[in-house]
Amino acid sequence: MDFDTLVDMHLVTRQSFGNRPLFGTKKDGTYRWTTYKEFGRKVDVARVALARLGIARGDVVACISSNREEWAVTAYAVYSLGAAFVPMYEDQLVKDWRYIVENSGAKALFVSTEKVYQSTYHFAEVVGQVRSVHCFDAARPDAPHAFSRLLAEAAQAPPVPAIIPNPRDLATLIYTSGTTGTPKGVRLTHANLMSNVLGLRTVLPEGVLTCHDRSLSFLPWAHSYGQTLELHALMAHGASVGIAEGIDKLLGNLAEVRPTMLFSVPALFKRVYDGVHAKVQAGPPVSQLLFKRALQAAHHARMARVSGRELGALASLEHRVLDKVVLGKIRNSFGGNLRYSFVGGAATPMEVLSFFDNAGIQICEGYGLTETSPLISINSPELKHRRLGTTGRALEGVTVKIVVDGKEVGPDEEGEICVSGPNVMEGYHLNPAATDEVMMEMDGKRFFRTGDLGRLEEGTYLRVTGRLKELFKLENGKYVVPGPIEAALTSSKYITQALLFGADKPFNVALLVPDWAMLQEWAKGKTDLTPDQLADKHALAASTAVQHLIQGEIQQALEGSKKYEIPRRWELLEEGFTQERGMLTPKMSVKRHVVVKHYHELIHHLYNDQGPALMQQEQLKVA
């Protein structure tokens, strides 16, 4: 089925998949599922409610909420009035909500909880064009601001027919928090979003995404990745979406929902990979041997499939038995049905990709930005097109060029990734100057400059190698792209986050966030630290054995790197880079300027004193 807009997609799928489950929400201890038909009826009522609020074609409606069924109901009701939807995150600052609501011209605001409502109710008739604020989880269902009351009143009113928008009409404004500067509203049309939804079919083999698939949703729909590739794309194919209760309950939700696919970030799989290996290493020798043999047998079977040769009868039997007894436990930790995971936002370590391929879960790395709806390219699970470590082939209709100094370079040469196609945004909302900065003409086409570095391997498969804006020059004139170095450092099971610094300095230094629990476990058998010292992060970091461990992990992770790229000094940080500390964007990218500013004294210490050591947080002056 092909669609031109999100509205006709919704109208067709609610008929075609009417009785199939769409959204699963945990209520009273169990997941309860809403069918496509039931969802359609809720959208019809919500459309009446919005029309009664005065929302009409060309208007904008904003929403502050985590993933939930009401989010999708409101969004699709907005689309079906010819209006645009502006999603925001619950953990954003009030000043960000205010700016986005005002800049977007939203006429109504929907929020998730009473807590958010208490911070935003005063926006009505004060901020921008907002007329009213409504709450999904109002303390009283009959309260004037309750979403449930709005729907109850709308259910008694005459129906309002859906408007089929023009594909070029604005569907959503997604504000990129970015790692620097003021948020910019990315204008994405129905045609933009549908090019991604339908484009998936051109790079994924038949049978990968069907009405029998199910995901467990935990990446925010307020971001283009979760919204386009999970919410819209799964709905277009009649699949179902279980909504996770939260990251802290993900493990239990996986067992309940039993997804066949996940839309994730690499960190989840890296965490599982480290946990599995730590558990095996702590186990008896026979378990370690079985684990090693299972991975070897799976690798040989995978290589046989890649080369198109037959696996011998004995080897095939060994693989089937060990896969069921050993590797099946890994799949069971994801619910038992997981076949694929589509990941983005950062590079996945090669050893993690290979491990999960051998375990029967194919991780397909994708690449894109909000400005490209978001998907540009994705690695395929199909063996003939699968290239681990790359983000695969571009979607149909999308042109990728690698550009240096305004000119396209050849295959396997590195340069800026530039993209043209139906997925490229209309522009930044009310910001033509910013739009002009990222657009360029080439070969008669309009190209978006991603700001990312990469190369096209074999002239086809995109490998992202770093961020152009993060590129810095050392004092000696050598250029360093920190992204790949940081990704290599965090491939260590003892390092969860890393930031490389060296702009205009004689050498690089690194700020490292360790996995303190892993370090403590390792130090128990390797040092003479007392239990109290093991629990003290400063004492643990000061241990010579721990310092040698981390230094060894750095050397191993960066083996093969250029000498000037390797950090000469490093520090272990007591706290991680978190959203609560303002150091991460909603898509979990590090705000480098914020981290560097916060730790400016620590960085000064690294260049003027001998490291490594742990500087206590109270010693730092927060700028």
Query: Is 70 exceeded by the pLDDT of residue 623?
Result: no
Pairing of strands 240-243, 21-27: parallel
Find where tokens 């894109």 sit. 368
Q: Which of 15-24, 29-38, 482-491 has the lowest average pLDDT?
A: 482-491
Compute the distance between CA of residue 261 and CA of residue 26 in angstroms, rounded to an integer: 19
* pLDDT average, residue stretch 461-479: 91
pLDDT classification of 178: cutoffs 50, 70, 90: low
Residue predicted with more confidence, 477 or 211: 211
Confidence at residue 35, expressed as pLDDT on a 0 to 100 scale: 98
* pLDDT average, residue stretch 374-403: 96
Confidence at residue 25, expressed as pLDDT on a 0 to 100 scale: 98
Q: Classify 385 in phi/psi space as left (phi over 0), alpha (psi -120 to 50) or beta.
A: alpha
pLDDT classification of 610: cutoffs 50, 70, 90: low
* pLDDT average, residue stretch 157-164: 98
Query: Is 70 exceeded by the pLDDT of residue 504?
Result: yes
pTM of the predicted model as reported, rounded to 2 decimal places: 0.88
Query: Is 70 exceeded by the pLDDT of residue 619?
Result: no
Please state which CATH class domain 266-336+339-468 belongs to: alpha beta
Tokens of 330: 């890994």
**Domains 6-165+204-260 and 266-336+339-468 in one fold:** yes
List phi, psi (to 5°) of 253.
Answer: -65, -35
Tokens of 196: 């991604």
Query: Is 50 exceeded by the pLDDT of residue 611?
Result: no
* pLDDT average, residue stretch 470-476: 91
Whether the Cβ atoms of residue 403 and residue 409 lie closer than 8 Å to each other = yes
DSSP code, position 220? -
How is the chain split into domains, by residue range? Answer: 6-165+204-260, 266-336+339-468, 471-619
Calculate the average pLDDT of the chain. 94
The answer as to CATH 3.40.605.10 being correct for domain 6-165+204-260 is no
Whether the Cβ atoms of residue 128 and residue 106 lie closer than 8 Å to each other = yes
- CATH for 471-619, options being 1.10.3810.10, 3.40.50.2000, 3.30.300.30, 3.40.50.1980: 3.30.300.30
Query: Is 80 exceeded by the pLDDT of residue 620?
Result: no
Write the DSSP assignment of 440-509 as a string of letters.
EEETTEEEEEEEEEEEEETTTEEEEEEEGGG-EE-TTS-EE-HHHHHHHHTTSTTEEEEEEE-TTSSS-E
Please choose, from the candidates 98, 167, 160, 158, the residue with its C-alpha nearest in 3D space to the C-alpha of residue 129: 98
* pLDDT average, residue stretch 206-224: 96
Confidence at residue 368, expressed as pLDDT on a 0 to 100 scale: 97
* pLDDT average, residue stretch 298-314: 92
DSSP code, position 575? S
Query: Is 60 exceeded by the pLDDT of residue 621?
Result: no
Taking the CA atoms of the chain, what radius of gyration do you get in angstroms? 25
* pLDDT average, residue stretch 181-204: 93
Compute the distance between CA of residue 615 and CA of residue 512 in angstroms, rounded to an integer: 12
Query: Is 50 exceeded by the pLDDT of residue 373?
Result: yes
Compute the distance between CA of residue 469 and CA of residue 163 in angstroms, rounded to an integer: 42
Tokens of 591: 């705000």
Tokens of 415: 């340069």
Compute the distance between CA of residue 329 and CA of residue 295 in angstroms, rounded to an integer: 13
Tokens of 524: 């128990």
Q: Which of 4-13, 73-82, 435-444, 613-622 has the lowest average pLDDT?
A: 613-622
DSSP code, position 244? P
Digit-coded pLDDT (tens) for 85-119: 999 999 888 999 999 999 999 999 999 999 999 99
Residue predicted with more confidence, 448 or 201: 448
Whether the Cβ atoms of residue 85 and residue 78 lie closer than 8 Å to each other = yes
